[in-house]
Structure 1
Amino acid sequence: MSAKLEPTDVAAVLDRKALCATVRRRIRRSFGHFPQVKKVLRRLGDLLKYECDGEEPECLVLLGETGAGKTTLLEYFRDKHPPIHHDDFTEVPVLYFRVPSSCTKSALYAGLLTALGSPYAKAGNEADKLEQLLTLLRACKVRLILLDECNHLADRGAQKTHYSMADGLKELLGRGRCPMVLAGTPSLADFVWLNEQISDRFGERITLEPLSMEPARQKDCLAVMNGFMKLLDGMQAIDLTGKKVATSMVYASGGRLRGIRRLLVRSVEIAEGKDSLEINNAVLEQAFAEVVFPGAEPNRNPFSRRFNKAPLTGLGEPYGKRGGRSS
């Protein structure tokens, strides 16, 4: 028979559960103004202010591996510049759209129309959708278009399909006269640079590099770890800014913010399951084995004393190459 909990014990359990829930929510919703992020936000701000008066709009390519934080960053910028509702129209300063896999020009135009709130997004043929889109871009005073997951333009279809999509972007730029950002994984670079129709329009590139504990980049990495430590306020957490732990976190996450969030959220869940607030090395080791690399041997777990300190980029490992092109 289990022992009866005293009221004070019940209160402590409820307090612990509430704290763990709060910490998990903080981590999932976190957005850090780290050096790389600040650079991109400044550039997006410049593009938003750009007055395109008869000349070609300025454009940007934003690259980063899956989980680097591109989508979070773009959505953050969009949310900082929300639609403005006037009496007779809605102004949309920043138009965001996530490009689907196997995208066509018609699907691209329809997606942008849907993002603008058009009830006729799927009406008409490709040319009709483009004309409707160009009309709404002007009517809604769109000043910046953010196209996310643009690696889908490069990862699917043959060269003819890629040429067609490049042609669609060119026409949208030429007639829409609106600055545009293409964001995606590194495979997007090939699509842009090998298409003469858009390569000269998207000459500027910013890459979100994965975190690293290499000497030249260690300071920025530790700043990120310090940011996550603040999110763990209230927990009895191991110091993520210690060089040994920070290095393990980089190995475990591939230097990607999404991986760090996943590790820490699961670590909080593990601690809560043990009726504890402690996140130590053993908890991180368990979290890694559960949500990053299930079935990993100790020598491939960065939080194990037996870890061999080789990047997790081998065949079948979390950050190794998948079959086919990156998506």
Structure 2
Amino acid sequence: MTDALLVALEQTIHHPSYEEASNRLTEAVSIARSIQGSAIFLSGPTRCGKSQLLRDTQAKLGQPPELSNDLLALSGLEGASDFVIGSIPTKPNSKTLITAMLEAVGVKAGPSQSAHDLQARLCFAVRDKGIRVIALDECSHCAERGAHLSKRGATDHFKWLIDQTGITLILAGLPKFQSLIDENEQLRDRTLSTIELNPYSWSSGSDATGFATALSEALCNLQAAGAHLDFGFEDMVVRLYGVTGGRIGMMVRVLQVAVLKMKSQTLTFKDISDGALTLTQKSLNARHLFETEVPQKIDLVRAYIRVMQDAGLEVTPESLADLEALEAA
């Protein structure tokens, strides 16, 4: 039964923030294709659902490459998609960055090839395989300390690929990547308006409802897979918000670990508490959030602010609790 429950948690949760970002990304890809190539930055803190959104968008928009059936058969591309996904490695340099894009389009790079040769192969492969969209996750690795590329060097590779092939390049990662776009005027002018997928803020009534909606859908998926639930829903909304800081991807991760700890078909308060404690560091104070009668609003606001500040995002206080939490941060 555990496997069935884990599969149930892999289903996309169509909560309001996700749907808004999904609609914007779908529209942006359509526009980029119509103007012969652009970059699109999908920004958000870790565990907010960016990778899931890329996979869902690929499934929705990906089409067979625009090649004849004979060419598809000869090239072995039957069942292939013109929308591919890759990931940028940590501490990238020119060769590993281009290699990541090559691997996304299904080409293995030779270890002795120069960055210039790899660029030529990438350009040829994109045209030869009929690729129209490349999505690259973890693009913020290019903006981290230790990257073996200058900020200009990293973004120039993206600009070059767009100019040479007319491709749509989706760059997904932490908000710190925004500075690279802003500092390279040529890439900036080729990049559509940034799409944000941020955590829900407890101080916003609609956001709190959005988080509860997402949890409700996840729990319904578990019940449909055969699980029974033994805890209060509204109480669990508050506790899981405190642990996750409003991030739906993190909420699902806690539920996944909780499922692994189940001793029967019933998912209990203790299973979720144990899952949260297993998954988080002491600094997140999950034990306090699950041991107190009801976490206080200040605890929830602090959790959200911590996530936003870790991602380098500013928080505008909307209440006295927000202001108090910001002053203590």
TM-score relative to the length of structure 1: 0.78
Following TM superposition, by how much is the alpha carbon of 1:203 offset from its aligned partner in structure 2, in angstroms? 4.1
What is residue 125 of structure 1 aligned with on the other side? Answer: 114
Q: Deviations over 1:141-195 (max 9, x none)?
A: 1111111101101113489711111111111111121111111011111221122
Aligned residues: 300
Preserved contact between residue 268 and residue 279 of structure 1 (Cα < 8 Å): yes
Alignment-mate amino acid for residue 23 of structure 1? L
Unaligned runs of 5+ in 2: 314-329
Distance 1:176 1:303, change over 3 A: farther
Distance 1:305 1:25, change over 3 A: same
Q: Deviations over 1:118-144 (max 9, x none)?
A: 244545211111111111111111111
Task: State the distance in 1 between where 2:284 and 2:194 align.
Answer: 36
Counterpart among 73, 78, 90 of residue 53 in structure 2 = 73
Task: State the distance in 2 between where 1:310 and 1:302 align.
Answer: 15
Following TM superposition, by how much is the alpha carbon of 1:239 offset from its aligned partner in structure 2, in angstroms? 5.9
Is the aligned partner of 1:37 residue 2:18?
A: yes
Counterpart among 174, 193, 200 of residue 182 in structure 2 = 193
Is the aligned partner of 1:245 residue 2:233?
A: no
Preserved contact between residue 134 and residue 167 of structure 2 (Cα < 8 Å): yes
Q: Deviations over 1:38-92 (max 9, x none)?
A: 3333344345545757x55233111111111111221233345376681233354
Larger radius of gyration between Structure 1 and Structure 2: 1
Is the aligned partner of 1:287 residue 2:275?
A: yes
Task: State the distance in 2 between where 1:298 and 1:130 align.
Answer: 47
Equivalent position SS for 1:61: strand
Alignment-mate amino acid for residue 158 of structure 2? L
Is the aligned partner of 1:58 residue 2:46?
A: no
What is residue 277 of structure 1 aligned with on the other side? Answer: 265
| Identity in percent | 20
Equivalent position SS for 1:147: strand
Following TM superposition, by how much is the alpha carbon of 1:215 offset from its aligned partner in structure 2, in angstroms? 0.7
What is residue 23 of structure 1 aligned with on the other side? Answer: 5
Counterpart among 223, 232, 252 of residue 261 in structure 1 = 252
Distance 1:56 1:104, change over 3 A: farther
What is residue 136 of structure 1 aligned with on the other side? Answer: 125
Distance 1:192 1:203, change over 3 A: same
Distance 1:200 1:78, change over 3 A: same
What is residue 73 of structure 2 aligned with on the other side? Answer: 87
- Structure number with the higher helix fraction is 2
Counterpart among 145, 154, 159 of residue 156 in structure 1 = 145
Root-mean-square deviation (CA), in Å?
A: 3.4
What is residue 100 of structure 2 aligned with on the other side? Answer: 111
Task: State the distance in 2 between where 1:147 and 1:297 align.
Answer: 33
Following TM superposition, by how much is the alpha carbon of 1:301 offset from its aligned partner in structure 2, in angstroms? 2.2
TM-score relative to the length of structure 2: 0.78
Preserved contact between residue 314 and residue 320 of structure 1 (Cα < 8 Å): no
